[in-house]
């Protein structure tokens, strides 16, 4: 009985920004738990390559390319997929970007792009998918937050602001949609070895600092996010709503 709570067989999961990095790892993990997968991104070639990799591992995979920052494109894509293919039972809002510049020099256009990619996309895709979930009376939404949801560090103040906003938007989703049978939660990674963090991974000085700062003493491996995502996507989290789970090697717990 206990293991069946985590079984995603018969469920379909849409993961935004899932052609690489954390999004791809979560898609692979949800597939291993039994879900059929819908990969999203803007680069169709990268999406198809990712899909072929997962299909080669035995996963059932579809691709749904759309720009998560474009409200009308999101609605058209989601509504069309639901009508033609079937329900999206799980949504993982993973699309995001980073831009590193001291705040006093931070370009206004980069700030706006961060707002659209990291916050507006969660609203656009979350709303489009939730409308169908509400009709069915069930659904799981997992918004990818960050250790920067709780902490700040130099050079990424706007990114920190966006990830704080994602956490509060998650609370708002839960507040509005729990009564309709939806569970909406956040998953907040610490420092993981991903393409988004390549500049930091390649910096020996930063890696030394991170190893000393993190109680676990190392970078995270993206596969270490999978268990929490499965939990938040499954029946095991049926009364978990509006919370953010930090998977960070203890960095937010320690000074």
Tell me the catalytic residues.
159
Residue partners of 118: CB distance under 8 A and separation at least 6: 96, 97, 159, 162, 163, 165, 166
Rounded-to-integer distance, Cα 234 and Cα 243, Å: 15
Question: Between helices 157-177 and 121-136, what is the axis angle to 10°?
Answer: 10
Measure the CA angle with vertex 207, ends 201 and 211; round to 5°.
135
Distance of CA 103 to the CA centre of its chain: 25
Tokens of 233: 């996507």
- Nearest Cα to 249, choosing from 223, 203, 218, 205? 218
Could you list the beta-strand ranges (E) of 35-178: 36-39, 61-63, 90-93, 139-144
- Nearest Cα to 244, choosing from 191, 176, 190? 190
């Amino acid at each position: 009985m206990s293991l069946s709570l985590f079984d995603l067989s018969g469920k379909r999961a849409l993961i935004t920004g899932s052609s690489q990095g954390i999004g791809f790892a979560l898609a692979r993990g949800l597939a291993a738990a039994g879900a059929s997968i819908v990969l999203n991104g803007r680069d169709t070639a990268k999406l198809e390559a990712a899909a072929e990799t997962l299909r080669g591992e035995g996963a059932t995979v579809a691709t749904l390319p759309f720009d998560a920052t474009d409200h009308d494109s999101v609605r058209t894509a989601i509504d069309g997929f639901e009508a033609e293919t079937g329900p999206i039972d799980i949504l993982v809002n993973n699309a995001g970007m980073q831009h590193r510049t001291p705040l006093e020099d931070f370009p206004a256009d980069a700030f706006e792009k961060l707002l659209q990619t990291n916050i507006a996309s969660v609203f656009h895709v979350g709303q489009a998918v939730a409308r169908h979930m509400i009709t069915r009376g069930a659904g799981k939404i997992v918004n990818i937050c960050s250790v920067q949801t709780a902490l700040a560090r130099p050079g990424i103040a706007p990114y920190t602001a966006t990830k704080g906003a994602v956490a509060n938007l998650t609370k708002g989703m839960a507040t509005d949609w729990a009564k309709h049978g939806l569970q909406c939660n956040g998953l907040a990674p610490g420092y993981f070895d991903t393409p988004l963090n390549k500049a930091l991974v390649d910096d020996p000085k930063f890696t030394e600092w991170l190893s000393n700062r993190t109680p676990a003493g190392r970078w995270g491996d993206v596969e270490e996010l999978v268990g929490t995502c499965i939990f938040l996507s499954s029946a095991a989290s049926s009364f978990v709503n509006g919370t953010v789970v930090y998977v960070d090697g203890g960095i937010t717990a320690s000074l």
